[in-house]
Chain A
Amino acid sequence: MVRIARGYVRSQAVAEEVAQEGWLGLLRGLDRFEGRSSLRTWLFRIVVNRAISTGLHERQHLPVADSELGDDGGRFSQDGWWVTPPVHWADEAVDRMVAPEVAARVRRFVAELPPAQRQVVTLRDVEGLPSADVCDILGISEGNQRVLLHRARTRIRQHLEQEAVW
């Protein structure tokens, strides 16, 4: 939740405060919860709403920037085939996936993503929420959500490869 809030506000401290308020909002509102969405989705929605209002106050609320929907960075030739095909590492990586230092590195890669990509990949791949819930929480379309997720995963994959995490 702190990671999600961090996308909207300036400092870690404010993000932690917002996340805590989210919990408080959840606890106070439990009686009102009608089960229309999963509890976690609802909680994230509370946090995002609070983060947005706090972030607006800080003039830090960032909608999806066009630059976050950019191209693939020249990995393909003009006619659409690989210029440099991916080197093989997926099979070798399987044994290393549970290593704590790998998770720590990936956490840093996620933190370095542009805000909208970070929000989406955090909710989808870190928190494991379904696509529809993430669209609802962030107020974005399915299409936009998948483009942002695609960019985020592509970038994390690149980091994993370039920094020879395996």
Chain B
Amino acid sequence: MVTTPRAKPDGHDITCRQAVALMTDYLDGALSEDDRALVEAHLGECEACTEHLRQIRVTVTVTGRVRDEDLNPRAREDLMNLYRRWQADREP
């Protein structure tokens, strides 16, 4: 049996794997003009990659929320004590 490689869907200059691989660079604004245009053209035609990009944005947002519960009260108190000591040392 002869298998024929699947053709790229119409209008796609890059594959979904390539588009996904470029998404972090895309979000960072680190792509060349040409590559950015390729990614955006792909996203314009590919609902799956567009959803993936939305999910990555949600992921970045919820990861940013982790910081809110950063310091436990004991660690905060330790730091404040250090700061007070440092300030006291600086007094002439």
Contact residues of A with B, CB < 8 Å?
2, 16, 19-20, 23-24, 27-28, 72, 76-77, 79-82, 85-86, 88-91, 93-94, 97-98, 100, 102-104, 106-107, 110, 121, 125-128, 131, 142, 146, 149-150, 153-154, 156-157, 160-161
24 contacts between A and B (CB under 8 A): A16-B75, A20-B79, A23-B82, A23-B83, A24-B86, A27-B86, A28-B86, A72-B20, A79-B15, A81-B6, A81-B16, A85-B47, A88-B51, A90-B58, A91-B54, A93-B62, A106-B63, A107-B69, A110-B66, A128-B67, A146-B25, A150-B21, A153-B63, A157-B55
Contact residues of B with A, CB < 8 Å?
5-6, 8-9, 15-18, 20-21, 23-25, 28, 30, 47-49, 51-52, 54-69, 75, 78-79, 82-83, 86
A20-B82, A79-B6, A150-B24 known; A90 and B57 CB under 8 Å? yes
Residue of chain A at shortest CB distance from B63:
A125
